[in-house]
Amino acid sequence: MSRLLMFVLRRVLVTIPTLIVMSIVVFLIIRLVPGDPVRTMLGFRATEANVAELRHQLGLDQSLFTQYLAWTGDLLRGDLGTDIVSHAPLSELLMQRLPVTLELAGLSMLLAVVAGVPLGVWAATGGPWSRRLTEGFVVFGVSVPDFWLGIMLVLVFSGTLMLLPPTGYVPFVDDPAANLRYMTLPVLTLATGEAAYILRTTRGAIASVMGRPFVTFLRAKGISERRIVFGHALRNAGPSIVTVVGIQVGVLLGGAIIIETLFALPGVGRLVVTGITQRNYPTVQVGVLAIATIFILVSLITDLVVGWLDPRVADGMMK
Amino acid sequence: MSGRAIMARSATPSGRRPMSASTRYILAGGAILAVLGIAAAAAPLIAPYDPESMAVREVMGVPSLLHPFGSDVLGRDVLSRVIYGLRASLLISISAVAASLVVAIPAGVLAGYFGRWVDSLISRTLDMILVLPAMLLAITLIAILGPGSVVAAIAIAVIYLPILARVMRTSTLVVTRNEYVEGSRARGAGHLRVLMTHVIPNALGPVIVQASVLSAFAMQLEAGLSFLGLGTQPPTPSLGGMLSDGRDVLTQAPWVEIFPGLAIVVAVLGFSFLGEGLRRAFDPRGVAE
């Protein structure tokens, strides 16, 4: 079997315990609520019969281990339970919400990479001004809380210039142009901070490659600086950039929770936040499960990409 | 003791390090944090008004001499609320990072010093925390324990635990390899004595650096949680809560949204500068990264 295939197999297998630990954490959410979670959910006006019924419906009257097995069994069959406020099946609710979060996170990361990588290259290879300007952008991106940046963007682009809608959402399939108009400010908000991180990583990776002997050799061979940067340095910086993208997806998904609330986007993050305020635990569980699963899968994919870009990483993991 | 140990290390051969830059960062960060800290601590003395008292005639008042930051939808003085909000945010962020350190330092030291199964046990347990992205974990803990400022602090402390413990573990590993540690053991010193006199004082630098950097993120996290209504609860003023309240009147009274946000940015910059300065001074090997 080829080494690469072994690496892929091993990395996929490592994901399984992570998924199990995550599922236990999510499973425990409702069980760790102090006092009686069913009472808390239904409020003090509910009758004993109502409480007993919901407790039975959630399987809380069985042993913890039986509950976990039943719960994961249901999950694997696609039965995510029901929302206790709207009584809608949670699988349906998730299917409506997930595309919004995926679009928001995907577009934000895309914009962050498209802006951050070239700026990082510019920062590492340009003159003193490029260094100063990009450093200013990094400090700005890292220190400004994303939701406040979002509020300020609304103030400028919706309040003053009246160019873009402040809040709201239209599904992409219904009206792509309107969808993108609504997505512009949320995506810009989330991408700014991420672009700063990607810029910093790219700058560091390129700078360290440019000092290596093979670059001196390429220069001595008379290869243009442009080809050295884009053909060699960027290629060597690739794994570091992809690794940071993978880590930052977690930050981005966390940020999306706040940004969805700020821009009234009907995504999974907003579902979780409303779920918490309504003490709607099954919905909170499904939302957390969905976001955490995306995060774990993205980590898997980025690790595989890094292993493919840099076989030494794959070899290192095999040892 | 630890101060002298660290000083001794920063004076070692690589004296070409630009000490001036690190001093400048520390001074800038320290000055910002000192001003904000004093304002927060002395809030009742400094704030011109009671942060919760409303004045119908002052509703959404434009910034003026009487109300330098203007007033909000309920006619409350924004400057006074920013000062009190800063007090709440700083208190939560700093106590969260401190609480995290109290657990992370012993955990990291034990893992790094004893290695083997102790290390595996501690490291694998802490790895479990990293299964969820930070913000999602905070929200999950709040879902379990209920919203509030104490829970927000606990949530932030838990998120930082694996990060701080890992830094402490790495720097303990580095310090333990030194000959003086082995020498001390050879002279018959017990584990506790070696840890307390040699390992911990010399291994603290990077974790302090990391704690300062994380305090900056803690400010943002706390503000985010309070913005969602999951952190500090009204009527207690908090910077995130103010940003959430003022959203509906953003265009009519932008000052309600601008000043609390600027306060967060300034505090974050203070912690970041301090962290950067400390990193250059005490963690030249980059253990904290």
Tabulate helix, strand, coil % of chain B (nearest 5). Answer: 75, 0, 25
pLDDT value of position B201 = 84
Whether A296 contacts A19, CB under 8 Å: yes
CA atoms within 13 A on the CB side of A235: 9
- Which three-class secondary structure state does DSSP give residue B287? coil
| N- to C-terminal Cα separation, chain B | 25
Model confidence at B9, pLDDT cuts 50, 70, 90, reads very low
- pLDDT, residue B1, reads 38
The rounded percent of chain B whose pLDDT value lies above 70 is 91
A96-100, A213-217, B66-70, B99-103: segment of lowest average pLDDT: B66-70
| ipTM for this prediction | 0.86
Q: Which of B129, B156, B220 to mutate against chain A (most A CBs within 10 Å)? A: B220
Between CA A234 and CA B128, with CA A239 as vertex, the angle to 5 degrees is 155
Please give the pLDDT value at position B21.
79
Does the pTM exceed 0.95?
A: no
Name every residue in A having a CB less than 8 A away from some CB of B.
18, 21-22, 25-26, 29, 32-34, 139, 142-145, 147-148, 151-152, 154-155, 159-160, 166, 250-251, 253-255, 257-258, 261-262, 272-273, 275-277, 281, 284, 288, 291-292, 295-296
Give yes or no for B261 touching A (CB within 8 A).
yes
State how far the Cα of A128 lies from the Cα of A141, in Å rounded to an integer: 20
The more confidently predicted of residues B235 and B266 is B266
pLDDT tens readout for residues B159-213: 999 999 988 998 888 888 777 877 887 787 778 888 887 888 888 888 888 898 8
For B146-167, what is the mean pLDDT?
91
For the segment A226-240, what is each residue's pLDDT rounded down to a tens digit? 888 888 888 888 888
Residue type, A267: G
| Range in A14-23, A163-172, B42-51 with the lowest mean pLDDT | B42-51
Q: Is the pLDDT of residue B3 over 60?
A: no
Name the phi and psi angles at A142, rounded to 5.
-85, -30
Question: How far does the CA of residue B250 sit from the closest CA of chain A (Å)?
Answer: 7
Residue matched to tokens 């599904």: A171
The minimal CB distance from B131 to the residues A21, A276, A281 is found for: A21
Tokens of B27: 């001074």
CA B137 to the chain's CA centroid: 17
Backbone angles phi, psi at B77, to 5 degrees: -70, 120
Lowest mean pLDDT: which of A64-78, A107-121, A181-195, B144-158? A64-78
Q: CB B272 to CB A145 under 8 A?
A: no
A173 or B17, higher pLDDT: A173
Would you call B139 and A277 a contact, using CB atoms and an 8 Å cutoff?
A: no
DSSP A157-189: IIIIS--S-SS----TTT-HHHHHHHHHHHHHH
Reduce the DSSP state of residue B45 to 3 states and report it.
helix
Task: Report the distance separating Cα A275 and Cα B5, nearest Å.
Answer: 51
Distance, CA of A168 to CA of A164 (rounded, Å): 11
Separation of alpha carbons B184 and B161, rounded Å: 30
Provide, as residue numbers in chain B, all residues whose Cβ is less than 8 Å from the Cβ of A145: 220, 223-224, 261, 264-265, 268
Joined together, the tokens standing for residue B77 give 């003085």
> What's the start-to-end Cα distance of chain A, in Å?
16
Q: What H or E segment, with its residue span, contains residue A114?
A: helix A90-125
Cβ contact (<8 Å) for B272 and A288?
no
Q: Is B79 on the interface with A (CB under 8 A)?
A: no
Of B134, B143, B268, the CB nearest to A276: B143
- Within an 8 Å CB–CB cutoff, is residue B281 touching chain A? no
Q: Are B257 and B179 in contact (CB under 8 A)?
A: no
Cβ-contact B242, B82 below 8 angstroms: yes
Measure CA B90 to chain center: 8
Is B140 touching A (CB cutoff 8 A)? yes
CB B240 within 8 A of CB B232: yes
3-state helix, strand, coil in chain A (%, to 5): 80, 0, 20
